Amino acid sequence: MEKNKCKNCNKEIENEIFVLNLWVCPYCNYHHTIDARDRLQITADSNSFNELGKNISSVDFLNFYDIKSYGERLKETRLKASLDDAIIVGDAQIEGNDVALGIMDFGFMGGSMGSVVGEKIKILSNYSIGKNIPLVIFCTSGGARMQEGTISLMQMAKTVSSIGRVKENRIPYITVITNPTSGGVSASFATIADIIIAEPHALFCFAGPRVIKQTIKKNPPPDFGSAERNLKNGQVDMIVNRGDLKDTLANLLRLFRG
Amino acid sequence: MDLKKLEEIPKNYLKEILGSLSKLEKLKKIPFFTGIHFKDAERALERKIETYKSVERDARRVWKIVELSRNDNRPQCRDYIKGIFEDFVDLSGDRLTGEDKSIIAGLGKINGRTVAAIGHNKGKDIKERMIYNFGMGIPQGYRKSQRIMELADRFGFPIVTFIDTPGAYPAIEAEDDGQAGAIAKSISVMFKVKVPIIVVLVGEGGSGGALALAIGNEVAMLENSTYSVISPEGCAAILWKNPSGTKLAARELRLTSGDLLKLKIIDRVIPEPLGGAQNAPERMVKIVKRYVTGALERYVRISGDELKSAKASKFESMGFFNKE
């Protein structure tokens, strides 16, 4: 039988149990990173998802070249990843509640935000306003996509502006912070939500532990940036286990209906 | 091929060129091909070498701009406020937990009109830099900015911001106090206000810490200022995995005023005195004063609703992608 090792406690988990437990370690409750397709499957009601903005894809408009060209990196990543970019957006139902749903994928260039992520969030925001349905985004990202230069920084402005219009229309906006969420995504659309939910132990920060270590020349405390520390500091509303997320979201969506 | 040419290629690209060269040499040994077949390949390779050489030259040019943008003798936010505003009053504190000295905020007069000013100040000597924390903002500073922007909006005062920061302060306390949320909120407040916002990048425009004060109806950059998603040093560490990539990273990031004007991220480039602002700081302040005064005159005529929606559509249209 196929077995997986928990990334946190190193215990072996049978594949079947691992999947049934939504890729959460049954021994230590460590929430393993999952891709957007799996996340969609465990979040939305079956067959309820219609993808939006499928026709949009990233392009190497700066001819950015480090040790490889951005164009080449995109090609390679598309072959490996389950998606065409770092987010999928669409409309879906969560326990019968209509939502405009966005799910990021860390497997696609570290969930980095470039023009496509920005545009898809704009499309999703407009859809949410047009249909007057709540906006829910699952976040995971290392930050802005450097290969798009300052244009990637501008996606922070673009997403905050688009979602600002959702909020002005008095439409609920909920984010779910999954491991890890940092940099430009943290400092833009992830943190302007009406409700911020985090998965247990998820890293959620602006500057990551490595950057902090460079500044203070020592290791930050082990709980630095963790969901639990963020809860204590008042930066998130609640921490919810993966298995309870769907129910929690559905309940919040019902509460917002008044 | 003249191997001397290889000396001018950036180290990072040498491996690739040498690889192609040895491949070519191997092919030459196959008797089936005649000399003619290699001429094209050799020419292509030489063209590539020329490209890499020009990349290296260009990287050096861009790096000079990065150094100028960080020059200690450039005028800073405090100098611009002194030179442009009359009766300026500093305002402090976020009314929640504290005061951030790295971000200056206050009210003053330009041409008899009350205008709010906000900006990062790096400080010029080591003593000043310690006080101003090298212009690296903490949540208290971004929340103070939000407070002043909301105040300005309520009273109809236009807002001018001066951007000059390596980035937001990467520290445990700043993170614990909600650095990410404070930056996001600043961006969101700048989209909400209906008074004119003029943004001037005067030195270093470092990442989210800069963007937090840079959502303007008009965004101008001094000729030798920079505006980047990450510092060239940080970018090299991540993508090149080596500090030797720093200058190349500076070039690839397209962080100069000329590049950003072409990409329509900024609206205007303000020329600097010959050799850079540090050569004639007082004249630089005067040039910026003329620009700010003129920009305010243009924008105070426009209605608040129009200012707000134009700002949103400008930033929401930024991005390049393929659409089938």
Domain ranges of chain B: 77-316
| For residue A181, pLDDT beyond 70 | yes
Instruction: Identify the pLDDT of residue B1.
Output: 57
Look at chain A and count its residues: 258
What is the C-alpha to C-alpha distance for residues B149 and B159, in angstroms, rounded to an integer? 7
CB B318 within 8 A of CB A155: yes
**CATH superfamily assigned to domain A34-256:** 2-enoyl-CoA Hydratase; Chain A, domain 1 (3.90.226.10)
Instruction: Identify the pLDDT of residue A1.
Output: 59
Q: Which residues contact B193 (CB under 8 A, 6 or more apart)?
A: B149, B150, B152, B153, B159, B308
Instruction: Identify the pLDDT of residue B8.
Output: 66
Termini Cα distance of chain A: 49
- Pick the closest to residue B1 from B51, B44, B33 (CA basis): B44
Structure tokens at B220: 């101008």
* Mutation for B interface: A52, A153, A173, A177, most B CBs within 10 A: A153
Instruction: Identify the pLDDT of residue A216.
Output: 82
**CATH superfamily assigned to domain B77-316:** 2-enoyl-CoA Hydratase; Chain A, domain 1 (3.90.226.10)
Instruction: Identify the pLDDT of residue B35.
Output: 61
Across the interface, do B180 and A212 touch by the CB < 8 Å criterion? no
Residues of B in contact with A149 (CB under 8 A): 228-229, 252-255, 259, 263
Q: What is the pLDDT of residues A75-118, one digit of tens each?
A: 999 998 878 899 999 999 999 999 999 999 999 999 999 999 99
| For residue B246, pLDDT beyond 90 | yes
Residues of A in contact with B307 (CB under 8 A): none
Instruction: Identify the pLDDT of residue B48.
Output: 79
What is the C-alpha to C-alpha distance for residues A198 and A232, in angstroms, rounded to an integer? 12
Domain ranges of chain A: 1-32, 34-256
Low-confidence winner among A207-216, B102-111, B127-136 (lowest mean pLDDT) = A207-216
Across the interface, do B321 and A56 touch by the CB < 8 Å criterion? yes
Of B178, B227, B321, the CB nearest to A150: B227
| For residue A207, pLDDT beyond 80 | yes
What is the C-alpha to C-alpha distance for residues A104 and A139, in angstroms, rounded to an integer? 5
Residues of A in contact with B240 (CB under 8 A): 66-67
Per-position b or e across B17-56, b if 16+ CB within 10 A of its CB: beeebeeeeeeeeeeeeeeeeeeeeeeebeeebeebbebb
pLDDT tier at B174, thresholds 50, 70, 90: very high
* Mutation for A interface: B229, B239, B248, B309, most A CBs within 10 A: B229
Instruction: Identify the pLDDT of residue B320.
Output: 97
User: Which residues lie across from A93 on neighbouring strands?
Assistant: A98
What is the C-alpha to C-alpha distance for residues A24 and A6, in angstroms, rounded to an integer? 9
Rounded to the nearest angstrom, the gap between the alpha carbon of residue B3 and the centroid of all alpha carbons in its chain is 39
Instruction: Identify the pLDDT of residue A57.
Output: 95
Question: Which value does ipTM take for this structure?
Answer: 0.96
Q: What is the pLDDT of residues B37-78, one digit of tens each?
A: 677 777 888 887 888 888 888 999 999 999 999 999 999 999
CB A201 within 8 A of CB A178: no
| For residue A3, pLDDT beyond 90 | no
CB A204 within 8 A of CB A230: yes
What is the C-alpha to C-alpha distance for residues A138 and A105, in angstroms, rounded to an integer? 9
Residues A20-41 have a mean pLDDT of: 95
Q: How many CB atoms lie within 10 A of CB B240?
A: 18
pLDDT above 90 covers a percentage of chain A that reads: 90
Residues of B in contact with A62 (CB under 8 A): 252, 254
Instruction: Identify the pLDDT of residue B3.
Output: 63
| Mean of the per-residue pLDDT values of chain A | 95
Nearest-Cα residue of chain B relative to residue A116? B321
